[in-house]
Structure 1
Amino acid sequence: MKTEFKFSNLLGTVYGRGNLVFTPDGNSLLSPVGNRVSVFNLTKNTSYTLPFAHRRNITFLDLTPDGNLLLTVDEDGRAILSIFPRRLAIYHFSFKSAVTSLSFSPDGHYFVVGLGRKIQAWRTPSTPGGNADGDLEFAPFILHREYGGHFDEVRHLSWSGDSRFFLSASKDLTARIWSLDPEEGFEPTVLAGHRQQVRNVWFSADQESIYTISEDGALFRWEYTSGQGDDEDSVNPGDERWRIVQREYFMQNAKLRCACYHPSTNLLTVSFDSGLFSLYEIPSFSNIHSLSMASSPISAAAVNQTGEWLAFGSSKTGQLLVWEHASESNILKQSSHLDAMTTLTYSPDSTRIITGADDGLIKIWDVSSGFHIATFTEHTSAVTASAYSKRGNILLTSSLDGSVRAWDMLRYRNFRTFTAPQRLSFSCLAIDPSAEVVCAASHDSFDIHLWSVQTGALLDQLSGHEGPISTLAFTPDGRYLVSGSWDHTIRVWSVFDRSQTSESMTLMSDLLCIAIRPDSAQLAASTLDGSVTFWNLNTSIQESGVDGRRDVSGGRTLTSRRTAASTPGTKAFNSITYSADGSCLLAAGRSKYICLYSVSTLTLIKKFTISINLSLDGTQEFLNSAAIMSNGLPRDMLDTEGEASDLEDRIDRSLPGVKRGRDATARTLRPEVRVTDVEFAPTGRSFCAASTEGLLIYSLDDVGADDFDPFDLDIDVTPQNIRAILAQAEPEYLKALVMSFRLNDKTLLRQSYESVPFETVPLLVRELPRVYLGRLLMLVAQQMEGSPHLEFALRWLGEILSIHGRYIKEKHGDFATELRAVLRGVDGIGRTLRSLSERNGFEIEYLCHEPIGKDDNSMVLFGGGSQQKSTKITNGGNDGEGEEDWIGLD
């Protein structure tokens, strides 16, 4: 089994804190999720997470106007500069202090950052093909100028359209005008008049006006005019300076949290801590829309370049919303779990992941797109376990509300609810492979309850354990039910026999979880002492064991008086699972490590570190003694953010010692890194872990961007030579394609691929060297997902499989990634054709019901019943652009 699993995607969390940024084309949205950045493609309905990670939570990010460079800054002021199209981090830099604002200039040559009360302007690093000087490549960050004058923290920075001036808004109740370079006759100007801190400040499109907005909901418009005698803002009549010419107030009983302004359309969007957001047209100050996103405060707002889409994020609920104000519809609406995830399970085809959490919600996540597609809210308490039937589309979940629910995954509804004769809080469940019997157990009772899935009737109660039951599992062949308890025993039940006998296996400590090998011959059990033991299910004899205390332990909490190596709470595996072939065992617990063991050799193959985020508790092996205060508490536990001055935001209403069910965003709680559940995909190509930061997916497939990975190059393999070959009177398509594979550039590959005539595809595929076969499969798969030439791609695929199919079958292990990408592409084409045919069918049916003789200057429908006419139908397509399809009517 291959073990080169790499981080693939982050699901389960869509927004953490910080600002939101649209790409220049407006099709994608960048959202900070903890110490990572997730990118949501709003036209293709897909998402991915950038592979690099910060050491703390990201607070600010911004893109250059050309969308090439991405700058992200964390809580400590450490920045990562990355090439956004390549998803590649190229430079790390520290601003020495916390960054309070960030903005790139419209021309992309400079960016300004707010560092407390001062502002710094930096030159943007040059990139290949950029306009900056070449020497910038050797010093990516060069300080241009530093500005000072504010008396409190700078909260917002924005540029003028010509990139000569920029504005700053501060908590000292003022805004200021600055020039990037010294200008003749210009002096920095102070805009004072607000009674609370200024949240945002912008230039108008013509740069003749400035808009400032404060936390109390006051909007001021400033213009450079001469003072009049009766103007209350005038000091010296006739003196030209920036003056307030208009005052407007939003009149909301809530504080203004954030705002965004689109200069070309003069549309202003304001958001309040009540969850309300409003859209205004200025300077007329006419209200266009007022809607509520949620009852929680809106933390961030952004507008795309055309001004059509508005993005909102709420850090308290983890919700992300993209709204189109013209059609008054949601383009994107995603939300995270409100509390820690407790369980996860894969669907049998590995395309979906179902998660349950302490908030009582059950969410279904699509692995390929990264979006959640459905949410079940019927449970009224924490969800403790979930199981997917191997045959059929049935999901079973158990909860502390005393119910086990069965869900129809085709219609997304709860069709059966199972309860015990007395009220119990179920902590684990299992379903047999035939999906006929479901069983569940509780910490409150030592019995196992069995129900019929079809009738919902309670079939039996199995007694025998002398302590709370912690885990249940059916063997994959359906013969036995295995239960583990805190009474140091494992029992194997023959529930389908007449005698219903059970066999007991004794352990040395409390049992936490069990896993059964796919061939039903071996059982793995994890106990509280940190050991994993392997048992033969046929003979009930222990075969071997692994001591995993040292492997799983890691990370010291801030309040711990012991080192990470001696902390007892992190020395056990709370979740274990077998790989699809049964050769490896994956184990995780209350630490930052996930361990992969070989079952045959009992060795640790690999350790995965799920997070390096220092904003979480338990990610450091050693604590800095210099950060310990005189009272013995770490300095990181101090509340240094003065904005949470309201009493209701600072009260901790949780019970002492409670770790679950609390508000994870409360300032008195620092989330602790842990893995609550881990599971291999049925295909064996990936595994997923439910952690503090979300759903972490690790995969064997190549999930990176279009990396520039050239190979077998020589001096003649250049983009100019490839284009010259394609421009010849008789192009050498095979030579151009092979040279493009060697250079491995996305643009050249697509150009060479689309230049091949339709009738020469079989000959080219036959003459292609086999060393490029995998790359050709991946190229065709990528074109099927993003190109409109569906028949052309299918022709390529058909020829590849007919000519090289026997070789691919022999070497299928080497082409696993490419074949999975091809399968996704074929499924995408099938969905596209199905939706197109359904839409055309509805339009044809509509046209057939039109009155005969209606003159629409297009055609006569079924005039005599013998003519065949053509109707031109316009449809939207998947990408939102209009496409025309000609469909013949008999």
Structure 2
Amino acid sequence: MKFAYKFSNLLGTVFRKGNLVFSKDGNSIISPVGNRLTVYDLKNNKSQTLSIQSNYNITSLDLSPNGCLLVASNESGETFMISMISQTVIHTYKFNCEPKCIKFSPDGKFFAMCVAELVYIFKSPGMITGQFNSFIIERIFHDAHEEKTCLDWSFDSRFIIVGSKDNSAKIFALRLLENFRPFVLSGHSDEIVSCAFEENSLNAFLISRNGQLSMWESSMKAEDFIELVYVKTEEPEDKRQKEEDSDEDDDFDNEDEVEKSSGDENNSRDKQGKIIVANDEEKQKFFYKRLARHYLMDELKKENRNVKLTSASYHKKLKLLVTAYSTGAFYLHELPDVTMIHSLNISDYAVDTAIFNTNGDWVALGVSGAGQLLVWEWQSEQYVMKQQGHSNVMSSISYSPDGNFIVTGSYDGKVKVWNVQSGFCFMTFSEHTSGVTGIDFCKNKKFFASASLDGTVRAFDMIRYRNFKTFTAPRLVQFSCVAIDYSGELVAAGAQDVFDIHLWSLKFGKILEVLSGHEAPVASLDFSPVPTSSALVSGSWDHTIKIWNCLETSGSHETVDLSSDVVCVAFNPNGEEVAVASLNCTISIFNVVSAEQINTIECKRDVGFSISDGDVVSAKKSMETKYFSSITYSADGECILAGGKSKFVCIYHVREGILLKKFEITQNMSLDGMTEFINRRNLTDFGNLALIEERDKLEGGNIKLKLPGAQKNDVASRNFKPEVGVSSLMFSPNGQQWAAASTEGLMIYSLDKGIVFDPFQMSIEVTPKAARSFIEDREYSSALIMSLKLNEDNLIQEIIEKIPHKEIELVLDSLPPAFIPRIVDFLSKMLNTQHLEFYLKWTCSALTKFGQKNEILDPQILVSLHQNLNRKYEALNKICDYNKYTIRVIRKTSKLMPTNNDEDDAMLLVSKAPNEENSDVSMDDDTSEE
């Protein structure tokens, strides 16, 4: 078995903190997810998390105008320059504190960063600047007394406006310009949230946190400022010779140059002996005049007096302003009249960031409190994308039998279904009223069951996406785990307060048996994966596992004693062995029939050394409390994947009992439990400095300390560091990937990120050359079958496009039933190509012949086909509507145009286009009468 698993994608976390950035074409959005970056392709409905990770959470980022460079910074001040082409880090630059804002210039030659009270201007590496070194400082502005918060460039990339916490903004010039002095825009009573220039102008506007919008008009245009030219002075040859002989290069006489420049009053000389050539015209005064002042939060303050403006963005071409607030609402205004054209409340939490895309059609909104990322199309008032992760840590995960979906449960009481290929959540179930503790998928049917602390076990249908069964116990209990047998007829759940196992019939929805025998909470359950067996293994905190025979004699069981508490059990895919993870960090392998122990794997040294901020013991001593809380077998049953209260996930060989590979799931130092040594500087006479309360700018004070004895996260107002760990993990059914529910989110590791060769009914004679030879001999059915067996999309597309459209029905009639789902699934993916009509004929013929046969077509394939058709229909519908109304306007405008009485011009028009005149006469009777 291969073990070259690499990080593939991160699901379950769509937005953490910081700002969002749209791509150059406006079809993709880049979002910071912890210490990683995720790119959401809104056009193709896919998400991809870059393999780049930082040591701390990423908070600020910006993309260059050409879309090739991305600059991102984290909480510790570490800044990365990332190539979006190769998706690698080019260079790293370290600041002393966290940068608050990053902005590229419109021409792409520079990018500016706000760091504390300074503004750094860096050169962008590339062909535009001719500079290929990273982070070359061009200028540094340090005229402010408070921390900088926002900035913006002018249209010509010559000026920059910077807002700060001193309730004012300042305008700087990148180069030394005549008649220009840095100007301060003041008059606000709160810190500046956003500032921007107008399009093709130096007019600016400022928005403060209290909702005050002020507009400023510049007295001069950008063209009025002349850049001062530096001219090197030439020296006499004898003087140059003396300077070469002497070592003092800086002490030379410039009397000749001074005499030459003294005649011009406007010229001056700098310290390096260069003449500054100035303009002879009369100097104009540069100043700003405030045109208007508006208060945007008058209506919101009537409902909530503590409301604050959290983010704002201005689209220069459309002159639209979007403002987001701490109440979860956002407003859309049209400037300069400040006319509100749209308002919407999207969340109960504060909206952290709001930006426009390139065209101004979409507004992206990020809510860190709820982990939401929304893209809103304000013209049609529809969601382009609406994704939200779990508001609490994931507790359990489960793969679907085909490996295309992952179901996750969390302590927030929600169950989400994720598409592995696209990375999006397409269904959320909120029926549970308390935390979800266990999830299990049926092996041969399209449903799954979830257990919760609210005392219910619910079964969800994956075809209709509904909760079709709810199982309860005779008395109120809290369920800690759930399992479904291979046939899908039995559902078992273990309780953590009454120490019993409840067994229900899925068909009748009634409880069949209450299995008693454990003397402590039931930690884990697992049914045998063999269809002919009904064995159920349960593990408990009473240091025992019990093997039950649920069908024949449900009350009888066999008990196996262990030396520590059992935290997880997992069946081997062959159904003969069961693996048990215990609290002493060991994995024991037992035979199900004989109940004999086969092997023991010691995992104590593989968990890793780590301590929390509140620990005062060494990492070696703290390691005694670490253990693996979740284990799962690989698809072939030869290896075990283990993870728990550690940042490491390990793969063990079952027979040999050795460690094969160790994965570090994260390097994020913003999480708790990542350090290996105690920082003695924090241990003072007043206590641990790492646990001191921190004040927040909106709320009164968010405490960084957890409740004493709390093991799980809660939804209180405290702001503490979550502890790193893996709560659940599972191999995919085909063994190509595995998923882990960690503190960062749902992390997926795959064997191959590129093309995976997955043939179907393969034989020796099936080759691409043979398929192409069949298509040349006009044996279309044989060629198509052979390409479907090879299961390569490029070859299938090549074969299908060479089949004449008259032969479509004949080819579909000759296909075996096993190949029908594959051809329909492939057709649903090809609706975005330029041969739309051709593939629609294939789709229509396939659905006409096989659409009523449920045993041939999978309903999930039909749902995917329907979604792709709707997406294509909406895209074409906008184009058709735009063209239809445009043609109407053109025709009406042509009728209203005045006639020309000039005979020469009329004869010239007739001689040039006689056919067009005849066609107009035939198309429109009114034109012929005129």
Question: Which bin holds the TM-score, normalised by the shorter protein?
Answer: 0.7 to 0.9
For 1:651-670, what aligned pairs fall within 5 Å after superposition? 655-663=707-715, 668-670=719-721
Deviations 1:756-809 (A, max 9, x none): 9x9999689xxxxxxxx99xx99x64798xx9x8944999xxxxxxxxxxxxxx
Deviations 1:488-515 (A, max 9, x none): 1111111111464211111111111111
**2:191 alignment partner in structure 1:** 197
**Aligned pair count?**
749
Give distance in 1, aligned partners of 2:802 and 2:623: 57
Deviations 1:492-542 (A, max 9, x none): 111111464211111111111111100011111011111111111121100
1:95 CA drift (Å)? 2.4
**1:687 alignment partner in structure 2:** 738
Asked if the contact 1:782–1:825 (Cα under 8 Å) also holds between the matched residues in 2, the reply is: no
User: Are 2:473 and 1:420 aligned?
Assistant: yes
Distance 1:321 1:88, change over 3 A: same
**2:915 alignment partner in structure 1:** none
Give distance in 1, aligned partners of 2:80 and 2:347: 33
Partner amino acid, structure 2, of 1:5: Y
1:565 partner SS: helix
Deviations 1:700-742 (A, max 9, x none): 022599xxxxxxxxxxxxxxxxxxxxxxxxxxxxxxxxxxxxx
**1:600 alignment partner in structure 2:** 655
1:605 CA drift (Å)? 0.6
**1:643 alignment partner in structure 2:** 697
**Dislocated runs of 4+, deviation >6 Å:** 651-654, 758-764, 821-824, 830-836, 838-842
1:569 CA drift (Å)? 6.3
For 1:251-330, what aligned pairs fall within 5 Å after superposition? 251=298, 252-253=300-301, 254-330=307-383
1:80 CA drift (Å)? 1.5
**2:829 alignment partner in structure 1:** 828
User: Are 2:72 and 1:72 aligned?
Assistant: yes
How high is the TM-score relative to the length of structure 2?
Answer: 0.76
Deviations 1:586-620 (A, max 9, x none): 00111101010011211101111111000001112
User: Are 2:461 and 1:467 aligned?
Assistant: no
**1:532 alignment partner in structure 2:** 587
Asked if the contact 1:224–1:241 (Cα under 8 Å) also holds between the matched residues in 2, the reply is: yes
Partner amino acid, structure 2, of 1:132: T
**1:245 alignment partner in structure 2:** 291
Partner amino acid, structure 2, of 1:657: G
1:185 CA drift (Å)? 1.3
For 1:22-421, what aligned pairs fall within 5 Å after superposition? 22-126=22-126, 130-133=127-130, 136-137=131-132, 139-225=133-219, 241-250=287-296, 251=298, 252-253=300-301, 254-421=307-474
The structure 2 residue matched to 1:880, chosen from 872, 875, 878, is 875
1:465 CA drift (Å)? 1.6
**1:857 alignment partner in structure 2:** none
CA RMSD of aligned residues (A): 3.4
User: Are 2:446 and 1:452 aligned?
Assistant: no
How high is the TM-score relative to the length of structure 1?
Answer: 0.79
Partner amino acid, structure 2, of 1:382: G
**1:581 alignment partner in structure 2:** 636
Deviations 1:221-242 (A, max 9, x none): 000249xxxxxxxxxxx97620
For 1:435-584, what aligned pairs fall within 5 Å after superposition? 435-477=488-530, 478-498=533-553, 500-568=555-623, 570-584=625-639
Give distance in 2, aligned partners of 1:47 and 1:569: 39
Give distance in 2, aligned partners of 1:519 and 1:793: 45
Distance 1:47 1:447, change over 3 A: same
Distance 1:632 1:113, change over 3 A: same
Asked if the contact 1:394–1:408 (Cα under 8 Å) also holds between the matched residues in 2, the reply is: yes
Asked if the contact 1:9–1:49 (Cα under 8 Å) also holds between the matched residues in 2, the reply is: yes
1:187 CA drift (Å)? 0.9
Partner amino acid, structure 1, of 2:872: G
Asked if the contact 1:654–1:662 (Cα under 8 Å) also holds between the matched residues in 2, the reply is: no
Distance 1:498 1:600, change over 3 A: closer
Structure 1: gaps (5+ residues): 227-237, 706-752, 765-772, 796-820, 846-873, 885-890
Asked if the contact 1:652–1:668 (Cα under 8 Å) also holds between the matched residues in 2, the reply is: yes
Distance 1:794 1:492, change over 3 A: farther
Give distance in 2, aligned partners of 1:558 and 1:473: 36
Asked if the contact 1:359–1:661 (Cα under 8 Å) also holds between the matched residues in 2, the reply is: no
1:65 CA drift (Å)? 0.1
Give distance in 1, aligned partners of 2:632 and 2:537: 15
Partner amino acid, structure 1, of 2:51: P
1:243 CA drift (Å)? 1.5
1:265 CA drift (Å)? 0.4
Give distance in 1, aligned partners of 2:516 and 2:207: 68
Asked if the contact 1:447–1:463 (Cα under 8 Å) also holds between the matched residues in 2, the reply is: yes
Partner amino acid, structure 1, of 2:73: V
Partner amino acid, structure 1, of 2:180: F
Partner amino acid, structure 2, of 1:351: N
Give distance in 2, aligned partners of 1:834 and 1:387: 42
Give distance in 2, aligned partners of 1:704 and 1:193: 59
Deviations 1:71-91 (A, max 9, x none): 111011111211113212222
Partner amino acid, structure 1, of 2:164: S
Distance 1:396 1:218, change over 3 A: same
Give distance in 1, aligned partners of 2:70 and 2:602: 44
Deviations 1:629-681 (A, max 9, x none): 5534144x44566524x32x5368975322324138x5541110010001001
2:606 partner SS: helix
Distance 1:418 1:824, change over 3 A: same
2:113 partner SS: strand
Partner amino acid, structure 1, of 2:875: G
Give distance in 2, aligned partners of 1:459 and 1:150: 74
Give distance in 2, aligned partners of 1:509 and 1:876: 55
Identity rate, percent: 38
Give distance in 2, aligned partners of 1:794 and 1:7: 40
1:823 CA drift (Å)? 11
1:248 CA drift (Å)? 0.9
Asked if the contact 1:271–1:277 (Cα under 8 Å) also holds between the matched residues in 2, the reply is: yes
1:326 CA drift (Å)? 1.3
1:691 CA drift (Å)? 0.4
1:836 CA drift (Å)? 7.8
Partner amino acid, structure 1, of 2:125: P
Partner amino acid, structure 2, of 1:140: S
1:877 partner SS: helix
Deviations 1:123-176 (A, max 9, x none): 0122xxx2222xx33x31111111011111111011001100111011100001
Q: Which moved more, 1:483-492 or 1:169-178?
A: 483-492
Bigger Rg over Cα: 2
Partner amino acid, structure 2, of 1:877: K
Give distance in 2, aligned partners of 1:88 and 1:704: 21
Give distance in 1, aligned partners of 2:551 and 2:574: 19
